[in-house]
Amino acid sequence: MLAVYAGVIDRDDPLSGLRIDDRPEPEARDGWTTVTVKAASLNHHDLWSLRGVGLVEDRLPMILGCDAAGVDAEGNEVIVHSVINDPSWRGDETLDPRRSLLSERYPGTFAERVAVPRWNLLPKPPELSFEQASCLPTAWLTAYRMLFTRGAIPPGATILVQGATGGVATALTVLGAAAGIRVWVTGRSEEKRAQALELGADQAFEAGARLPERVDAVMDTTGQATWAHSVRSLKPGGKIVISGATTGDAPPADLTRIFFLQLSVIGSTMGTRDELGRLIRLCVDKGVRPAISATLPLTEAREGFAAMLRGDTGGKIVFTHS
Ligand X SMILES: NC(=O)c1ccc[n+]([C@@H]2O[C@H](COP(=O)([O-])OP(=O)(O)OC[C@H]3O[C@@H](n4cnc5c(N)ncnc54)[C@H](OP(=O)(O)O)[C@@H]3O)[C@@H](O)[C@H]2O)c1
Using the rule CB under 6 A, which residue among 169, 172, 219, 279 binds ligand X? 169
Of 2-10, 109-117, 185-193, 208-216, the segment contacting ligand X by CB under 6 A is 185-193
Residue whose CB is less far from ligand X, 292 or 308: 308
Assess 192 for contact with ligand X (CB under 6 A). Answer: yes
Q: In three state form, how does the secondary structure of the chain look?
A: CEEEEECCCCCCCHHHHEEEEECCCCCCCCCEEEEEEEEEECCHHHHHHHCCCCCCHHHCCEECCCCCEEECCCCCEEEECCEECCCCCCCCHHHCCCCEECCCCCCCCCECEEEEEHHHEEECCCCCCHHHHCCHHHHHHHHHHHHHHHCCCCCCCEEEEECCCCHHHHHHHHHHHHCCCEEEEEECCHHHHHHHHHCCCCEEEECCCCCCCCEEEEEECCHHHCHHHHHHCEEEEEEEEECCCCCCCCCCCCHHHHHHCCCEEEECCCCCHHHHHHHHHHHHHHCCCCCEEEEEEHHHHHHHHHHHHHCCCCCEEEEECC
Residue whose CB is less far from ligand X, 85 or 165: 165
- Interaction mask 214-233, ligand X, x per CB under 6 A: -------xx--x--------
Touching ligand X, residues 269-288 (CB under 6 A): 269-270
Residue whose CB is less far from ligand X, 163 or 176: 163
Q: How far is the CB of 195 from ligand X (least distance, A)?
A: 8
Q: How far is the CB of 146 from ligand X (least distance, A)?
A: 9
Assess 290 for contact with ligand X (CB under 6 A). Answer: no
Assess 43 for contact with ligand X (CB under 6 A). Answer: yes
In the complex, the residues that contact ligand X under the rule CB under 6 A are: 43-45, 48, 138-139, 142, 163-169, 187-188, 192, 221-222, 225, 243-244, 246-247, 269-270, 308, 311, 313
